[in-house]
Amino acid sequence: MVWIHGDGAIGAGSFFDARRLAITGDVIVVTINYRLGVFGVFGYPGLDGSGTFGLQDQRAALQWVQHNAAAFGGDPKNVTLFGESYGGLATSAHLISPGSRGLFHRAIIQSGFALMDLPAGALYPGVPAVEWFGWQSAAEVEATGAAVAAQLGCTDPTLALECLRRLPVQDLVTLSRPMPFAYGNAVLPEVAADALLKGRFHKVPIMSGSTRDEHRLFVGLFRVLASQPVTAQQYPALLSDAFGDYANAVHAQYPESAFESPSVAWASVLTDRMWARSTFEQHRLFAQRVTTYAYEFADRRSPMYLPFPEDFPPGAFHAAEVPYLFNDDKFDAAANPGQRRLSAQMMRYWANFAHTGNPNGDGLPQWSPFDRDDAVPNIQSLEPDAIKGVDYAAEHHLDFWSQL
């Protein structure tokens, strides 16, 4: 099992303690490093590999596994690629990248956003709408790189790359943030939405899922903890900026009175509209062509390591499931017995899938594949002592969103 960590701007494979996953699941777990932020996806006209350096690092790690897995008792013909958030996005990228074919044989996408757009103001206050969150054309990436080079004093196009390479690393690190992958090149010929819709991806078994309250983390970080909580007066204006003529319909579906605070209401709108809507469509596109197991991590009392106030409960926030797979004494101290049991069950599900392409096993609640033709396609809800199928579309009001 090869793990791609998330964020895209900071992080390291060594942050993830995989010993329990390896022992519980009888698997070899490889955690990797790759170039992040400006070093991973910087683009410039004429720069070979523009916008794809991080993905190429990940591919090099997969090639290393092919050459070295047997030395550790592993099988190079049975490799599962898995990642969360930006790592989930990267896993989707490898599914559609021609050069990654044959380097892995199953894929697990945790809270990836291959098909997600970004309504205005959704991630940060004042940020405009984005058509594809996580992807930009090679031309757009190179144009951004040219603007960054000029900002750093490298204004002569014929000398800009040489100029940039002479700059101290510290000058470039300040520009690092999670950045989109460039498509329209040899590494990523097309945007994920087109590739998945047309079935142009590597046909391997898929496990795919999200958390029940994905966007609470982002509203909590960039609004509540930044002393900019959503107020009752601001909420209608945010809806108007994000949804225009449909704002009143959204407001009626998600009134402030139904939630602990306007901030939670806003987070719920974005969880359903951005995350659940695109995740469900991703399940449908995968399941049309390969065996797909879908899940929702639903433990709304997951250990939270940030000081969110009482009127903003984090719920099953973005990345809440990661410590259940990579846990240590810190998790044990924060988790209750039911959560520790769920952790062990999730490790077995993930490892069983890596072994055979099927997460089921002795003593585990039955997990049926996602069938797009079912009236209620199965999505496994992962919650302490309550693992079962959930009507995901109803839970996240997807019929409502499909009508807008």
Instruction: Pull the structure tokens for residue 367.
Output: 């997990």
Contacts of 174 (CB under 8 A, 6+ apart): none
Alpha-carbon distances, residue 112 vs 6, 276, 278 (angstroms): 9, 11, 9
Angle at CA 401, nearest 5°, toward 397 and 404?
150
d(CA 8, CA 221): 17
Q: Where are the beta strands (DSSP E) in 34-77?
A: none
Q: Are strands 206-211 and 106-110 parallel, antiparallel or unpaired?
A: parallel
- Helix ranges restricted to H, 111-183: 138-151, 160-166, 169-173
How far from the centroid of its chain's Cα atoms is residue 48's Cα?
27
Instruction: Pull the structure tokens for residue 24.
Output: 């519980």
Choosing from 50, 85, 100, 208, the catalytic residue is 85
Indicate if 85 belongs to the active site. yes
Say which amino acid occupies 255: P
Closest alpha carbon to 75 in 386, 354, 391: 354
d(CA 86, CA 10): 11
Contacts of 194 (CB under 8 A, 6+ apart): 200
* DSSP-based three-state secondary structure for 160: helix
Quickly list DSSP for 206-251: EEEEEETTTTHHHHIIIIITTT-PPPTTHHHHHHHHHHGGGHHHHH
Q: Please list the active-site residues.
A: 85
